[in-house]
Structure 1
Amino acid sequence: MYPLRRNRRLRNSTVIRNLVRETILTPSDFLVPLFVVEGNGIKEEIDSMPQYYRISLDILRKEVKELWGLGLGAVLLFVKVPENLKDNKGTEALNEFGLMQRAIKTVKEACPEMLVMTDVALDPYSIYGHDGIVANGVILNDETSEILAQMSISHAEAGADFVAPSDMMDGRIQIIREALEDEELINTGIMSYCAKYASGLYGPFRNALQSAPTDIENVPRDKQSYQMDPANRLEAIKEAHMDVDEGADIIMVKPGISYLDIVRELKDEVDVPIAVYQVSGEYAMIKAAAEKGWIDHNTIMLEQLISIKRAGADIIASYFAKEAVKLLG
């Protein structure tokens, strides 16, 4: 007896596969991370992130125009801070003429409609490479959160549309939201890194910004006291509900591929958009394996991006954004 239902009928040709495809990537899905440095005419490749670059403000101006032309309408800014400007309290982060503040203004001048999100954490500014103030071997929570609120105000005043606290301090979303409201910056959004795991996949990023924790006595050598344990699932749900209650407009899961179960679960738990960060280690592994000839670069790149969206991501922060969009046509 022949089967009445043959699922392969819907796989017989490219046309029918396209017609019934459930998950479709578009340029509007992507948030593009950009690394900004001081100087002029600088576009230096990051050795641990092939074909990705640190760029100076003049190159940033050109880059955002190109991204906009490709249909990529949102960027996430990170800055590489000169060593002489680092301290334990992120003092430079509050400089209204600092690199981040100038980067925000550069993007808005070059492409006013580009959505600008900014990294809010102390690690690029810290002599210790931590996301908060360090005292007696401890990362101080409440004191750090107050500085993060001031950073957020500074970024918003410079023109940022969203601030993106990536620090994982407890209660910082409410403190940031209240600070923005007090300054009547009511339209500034918050994208909270609500489920940021203490992953081993951040190495290339830390190399890009030279922001890894330092090997100094009485300073934690990792971020496990504030980033989440990769073994935990329920904790992510708790963090998500807390951040939404405190005023987060978007929540983020980071990294991507290893945590798609968390993405799927949060999609069913909260009523705000969910972002997923396909992090530097995930990018670097694909690049390295493709260079060896072990995988097909474009096939795996698109497969992973589709899987992130299929799991429930509304926004994908990815170093592959430009490459993917060019392939998608």
Structure 2
Amino acid sequence: MRTIVKSSKLLMLILAAAMTVQTHAQEEAKSKKDGDIDSEITNARLRAQSGSKSDYSLSLSLGYNGGTLDDIFGEERPDIYGDPETETKTSFGGSFAGRYRFNKNDSMTVGAGFSVLNPWGHSEGNVDNPYIGYSRIYKIGDFQTSTSADITFGTAESYKAVDLKQVVSASHNMMKRFEGTNLTVGASVSLSAYFYGSEPEVAVSKEAMTELAVGFYPQLEYVFNDTFSFRTVFGYFNYQKSRGEDSKLLRAYEYQSVGVGISVTRDIYVYPNIQFLADDLDADKTNFAISADINIL
């Protein structure tokens, strides 16, 4: 319990420091780029994920991938999706990146992931999976839209275990808030290609190694006020293709996430949530997580 309290205090200190720095930055070092993206994008999550409005900034993504509802602070996190590259230890981590904003809509990031496996037991820290990405946030008619693409270089142990070298991903997210209501609906699509070593000598069969993943994710948000909102994502249309010679694009497990979005400031967004399988609602197969997007400067 003492470790949990210390970790909670650490997260609160990080959030408090980020709030102080980013508020000062908004007042003293506003972007020199033309226009204000906030006049187009009002969705709190999209704003935070698009990064600071400054020309140069730091983006920090924090998260705790916990255990089941029965044992949130346990050592094991069940892999409800069935992917061999998924880390099955509970972990605290995320990613950090430097961001350069070309204009109010387009930016580029270079960063890496970090993680502390089993933070409540014998902890093991790593900095891994460096990446480079591009993102564009803009408006198409009534839709608030973000498009991104990135390449991640696999250096984490869970990636090495299956000899996963790179993952190239692209995603497109569109959200529409209905005028006169607090309801926002939308969807995102994603495509990820997995590149392995030529002939990896691993215990996992090729049929269990993902080669291509395609997803369509309907989403719904209900805004209570400027700070709090309800959010759910329907992961019912996910398809994966393995490295097996005769493999086809097959429908993956159907899951759903439900959580509460907390807009601490324009540049800080926190999202506690749970993920569960749509056709198997056992508590021991429901994962708990909390994430935070923090932009500094």
Give TM-score, length-normalised by structure 1. 0.30
Structure 1 or 2, whichever has the larger Rg, is 1
Question: Whose helix fraction is larger, Structure 1's or Structure 2's?
Answer: 1
Give TM-score, length-normalised by structure 2. 0.33
